[in-house]
Amino acid sequence: MIKYLHKYGAPRRFYAISGRVLPWSAVITVILFVSGLYLGLYWAPPDYQQGDAYRIMFVHVPNAWMSMMAYMALALFAAAGYIWNIRLADILAKCTAPLGASFTLCALVTGSIWGKPMWGTWWVWDARLTSELVLFFLYVGYMAVQASIEDPRRAAHASAIVAIVGVINVPIIHYSVYWWHTLHQPASITLTNQPKIYITMLIPLIVMSLAFMFFYLTMLLVRARNEILVREKDRQWVRNLARKIV
């Protein structure tokens, strides 16, 4: 299994395969975003309590989900790279961090914009908001460690520890609204219960969430391919590639 990973985890092989996947995932991302925004902004009905203001949910919730999912991916990639010395995993972890940080920042900003008219405040230090802010700092810390060490192997090793330790925060974010009294409401969509969102509002939310997932995949591939070229710039296959383009 690990040997198999090493074979397909070879950056050169990944570069070839991802080159074929990339156009498809890019097209799917655009289609999902356009249809998701149309469904969310025009097709979905207004909310009984929040009117049209609730529509910010269609960007806030996918960003918040992705901020946590990207962190899980970051920790998994970092752990795989750390334990089994998979070079591709190191690269994927490094390329996930700025994406995850952006999702987190967008979730915080859109949440703040939503909070002002509905709750009556831009920000409160409740457990949900604070733990999401901590997630942002974890991403930033990971990136800082990455950037401060020049050797890619050593940078990956050191930053992997930050990524793995920080994963504790993900369940804390998720359960914060159940463990403590928070201003933030509990989850509307859970795996075990029926969603508390009406179906005509749920569909745009699902489409937008898929759009963000494919956006993450697309951007990850783009970033990872760049990183591979930079790291392997002295290899023959990269030189051949460069010669072909010039």
Partner 1 sequence: MKRQNKRLTFVVVGLVAVSLATWLILTAFQHNLVFFYSPTQVLEGKAPIHHVFRVGGLVEHGTVHKDGLRATFTVTDLRHSLVVHYDGILPDLFRAGQGVVVQGRFAGNDVFMATQVLAKHGANYMPPEVQAELKHSLAMKAKGKA
Q: Where do contacts with partner 1 occur on this chain (CB under 8 A)?
A: 2, 45-50, 54, 57, 79, 82-85, 117-121, 124-127, 161, 164-165, 167-168, 172, 179-183, 185-188, 196-198, 200-201
Q: In terms of CB distance, is 47 or 232 closer to partner 1?
A: 47
Q: In terms of CB distance, is 7 or 20 closer to partner 1?
A: 7
CB of 76 to partner 1, least distance (A): 11
CB of 5 to partner 1, least distance (A): 12
Rounded to whole angstroms, how far apart are CA atoms 107 and 112?
8
Rounded to whole angstroms, how far apart are CA atoms 35 and 80?
36
136, 134, 132: which is closest to 177 by C-alpha?
132
Q: In terms of CB distance, is 65 or 216 closer to partner 1?
A: 65
The residue assigned the tokens 């710039």 is 233
List 47's β-bridge partners, or say none.
Answer: 51
Q: In terms of CB distance, is 33 or 119 closer to partner 1?
A: 119
- The residues near 31 (Cβ < 8 Å, ≥ 6 apart) are none
Buried b vs exposed e over 33-56: b needs ≥16 C-beta within 10 Å? bebbbebbeeebeeeeeeeeebbb
CB of 56 to partner 1, least distance (A): 12
**Cβ–Cβ < 8 Å for 89, 159:** no
Rounded to whole angstroms, how far apart are CA atoms 54 and 49?
9
Instruction: Please count the CA atoms within 13 angstroms of the CA of 181 that sit on its side-chain side.
Output: 0
CB of 35 to partner 1, least distance (A): 20
Q: In terms of CB distance, is 175 or 229 closer to partner 1?
A: 175
CB of 9 to partner 1, least distance (A): 14
CB of 198 to partner 1, least distance (A): 4
Q: In terms of CB distance, is 35 or 182 closer to partner 1?
A: 182
DSSP string for 95-134: HHHHHHHHHHHHHHHHHHHHHHHHTS-S----HHHHHHHH
